[in-house]
Homo-oligomer: A and B are copies of this chain.
């Protein structure tokens, strides 16, 4: 544990280490001792940055929530047909999920044992409701099928999008099968695939 290492620690780097530990051990199973060991700094150094592990959790899930709610303020999420806005939001949700992968992963694993976890769940529900409202408007405008109940459709679409955290790894992207010789992270391919499946389904357009 060198002084140099300790000196370079910022709230940001501590947060990224904490998120990894929370994901690996679960938030309940993580102690300040685990965080101290993973970060390579003393517990008192951690307390210099934050009040405790719950503050780290709050900062981590806030980052994910801010990313998601931020989408709804973007112009394309506010202007145009509800179906167009919905498609924009779905695409951006996938982008934010991949860009903030560990933070969104942690958010999706929150269970509600502490005040911070319950707050995070409440904010998630609020986001779900905002997207469900968009889906409802799109159905009312006649652009979205009316034979799947809005809440159920929202849950299934969120289920598909959120499942990406289970397998997507930026350094080992899926979908790079070399068909078109393209390099890169595969992010665009995942976004396009989700948008195609969510709106058009598997069936070939006739």
Contacts and interface: CB of A to CB of B under 8 A. Distances in A.
A155 B174 contact: yes
A47 interface: no
Q: How many copies does the complex hold?
A: 2
A197 B161 CA distance: 13
Contacts of A196: 145, 147-148, 201
A77 to B, nearest CB: 17
The main secondary structure of chain A at its interface with chain B is helix
A189 to B, nearest CB: 7
Contact of A145 (B149, B152, B153, B203): B203
15 contacts: A142-B204, A145-B204, A146-B204, A148-B196, A151-B175, A151-B177, A153-B197, A156-B194, A156-B197, A159-B160, A159-B163, A160-B163, A199-B202, A200-B201, A200-B203
